[in-house]
Copies of this chain bind each other. A is one copy, B any other.
Amino acid sequence: MKKDSVIFKRRSIRAYDSSKKVSKEQIVDMLDAAMHAPTAMNTQPWEFMVATDPEAVAKIMKIHPYCQSLKEAGAAVVVCANLDKEFRTPSGGYAIYDCSAATQNLLLRAAELGLGTCWCGIAPEKELMGAFRKAFSMPENIEPMALVIVGYPAENPQISPRYDESKVHWQKW
């Protein structure tokens, strides 16, 4: 059963097959998965910018320094926090947790669909966030958080064991 779960099979993919294109239906399916993540007070404080047109893809590649494989992958989702919708307390906001959980759902759903992904950070890099906001005319309340490259994998990275008992503290520290 464990080996069947995509959680244990997903790997970050850095080589893509440019002869196959991710479909709109697949993207919508992945975004649906993202929107099934839990959020603080059920605020669902996310927005998603999808780039599949060559111009939008090229724009992203100009901005982000570590997304060369996007060229072959051909599609990307920019996961953004909507600061007007997040749950906030005097200590801070929760969108960052909510949107990270949504991003993980997106990666896992892509793997279930036979697609590869790579999560490239945008936040907390202030300059990079500003560059995305400017290039895509995102409103001030929108905080671009993660760039997810999506495409058909052209590599199949080995799965290695990850469980590390030294990081588990039973009942006490």
Q: From the candidates B53, B100, B136, name the one contacting A104 in the complex (CB within 8 A).
A: B100
Complex Cα spacing A137 to B173, Å: 6
If A8-B33, A35-B162 touch, whether A169 touches B50 (CB-CB below 8 Å) is: yes
Question: Is the CB–CB distance between B163 and A28 below 8 Å?
Answer: yes
**Which residue of B has the minimal Cβ distance to A46?**
B167
Contact with B along A18-62 (1 / 0, CB 8 A): 000000000011011101111010001011111111011000000
Shortest CB-to-CB span from A77 to chain B, Å, is 9
10 pairs from A and B in contact (CB 8 Å cutoff): A35-B163, A47-B167, A50-B168, A56-B171, A91-B126, A93-B124, A96-B97, A97-B145, A97-B146, A101-B119
